[in-house]
Amino acid sequence: MSATRTSARQALFTGLFAAGTARAAYALLVAHPPGGVQMWTRTNHRGEPVTLLEGPAVAAGAIIAVTVASGAPSRSGAAAALAGVGAAAFGGYDDLAGSGDRRGFRGHLAALRGGELTTGACKLGGIGATGLACAAALGGRGVDVAINAGLIAGGANLINLFDLRPGRAIKVALAAAAALGAAVRPGAAHGSAAVAGSAVALLPEDLGERAMLGDSGANAVGAVLGVAAASLPRGPRLVLLAGITGLTAASEVISFTKVIERTAPLRWLDMLGRRRPARVPAPAPEPPADPLGSAEPDGAAGSRTPSGVDSSTPGGLNGEGATAAGAAPRGGHLRAPRGTPQPPTTT
């Protein structure tokens, strides 16, 4: 009982230390961004600017905390630090140098077949090598090294697959950290606690759409969680690896975002703490028919929605029905504004 309490206190200390370190690292990076602000600025799903500096800050918080929590040099502490540093470095390279033209395993493999080495392919290869090195550092039989390498590299990639909406990747990482923290043996929960603390510390920035994890943060978080999962018995590790592999394969053919939006509980969790999506005002109701019985002709006043434009579809980057300012919508003509005099009717 005392060992459990001691482990819980150590995990709490690790989480708090990680949170403080991540916040301090973020403040320092924002005040002095390496290479300038524009290097780290990207456009989010709303078309608004956000910074990628959250990723290095979260990675730093988790890596430093798990290293300090390990105390004396240990295999698990060294493996977690190596996993975090390697995944953050390769993810950061893709963040800063990648074009985003190729996505997913299929996209990068297709580019390789065509003789093009993408930054994403470099990242995948680098994180794979990092996972193998970390698994070798943890030791064990050959089959355990292979399983652990898959957990570390696969975990790094999987968390990154969810970094498409504000707070989503962090929420997934927190759920995984909580599950691993409860499942691993006492004393082996430092990695989960470090990830949880650093991620929670920057969650307000992510939900507020001021910053995002990017590949650097998401890959590092997933890799450190993979090292924590390596302390599980072989059976649960195999099940977990199968789940990671299945989700990664599924991401090549289905959209996680569409699945989440169609599933009410998942949609609620996904939107928890986020800004609500912008809403487009509903079109004005059609005016009543003319007292003489003649309906208002097409193109006359009365409708504020241009012909052929679905007003229920939001504008911006996600609005497929948006029309550029000053351009005639589908249908060829703009509606006449209310109050425009109509030509007299001839008999």
pLDDT computed for residue 161 by the predictor: 93
Q: What is the pLDDT of residue 297?
A: 42
Please state the domain extents for the chain: 2-254
Strand partners, 42: 50
Residue type, position 333, single letter? H
Convert the pLDDT of each residue in 74-98 to its tens digit: 788 889 999 999 999 999 999 998 7
Q: Which residue did the predictor score with more confidence, 4 or 318?
A: 4
User: For position 343, what pLDDT does the model report?
Assistant: 47
Find out whether 88 and 216 touch, Cβ atoms under 8 Å. yes
Predicted pLDDT of residue 346: 45
- State the Cα–Cα distance between residues 166 and 3, nearest whole angstrom: 38
Looking at per-residue pLDDT, the higher value among 146 and 124 belongs to: 146
Which neighbouring-strand residues pair with 41?
Answer: 51
Q: Is the pLDDT of residue 286 over 90?
A: no
Dihedral angle sign, alpha carbons of residues 280, 283, 284, 285: negative
Point out the least confidently predicted range of 71-75, 163-167, 253-257: 71-75
* pLDDT score at 7: 75
Distance (Å, whole) CA 341 – CA 347 = 19
Q: What percent of the chain has pLDDT over 90?
A: 57
pLDDT at 113: 72
Q: Please report the DSSP string for 150-211 in residue order.
A: HHHHHHHHHHHHTTTSTTHHHHHHHHHHHHHHHHSPTT--HHHHHHHHHHHHHHHHHHTTSB
SS3 42: strand
Question: CA-to-CA distance for 103 and 115, rounded, in angstroms?
Answer: 16
**How confident is the model at residue 9, as a pLDDT?**
84
Residues 124-136 have pLDDT tens digits of 899 999 999 999 9
Task: Give Cα separations from 94 to 103, 124, 126, 345 (angstroms).
Answer: 11, 10, 11, 66
Q: What is the pLDDT of residues 190-234, one digit of tens each?
A: 889 999 999 999 999 999 999 999 999 999 999 999 999 999 999
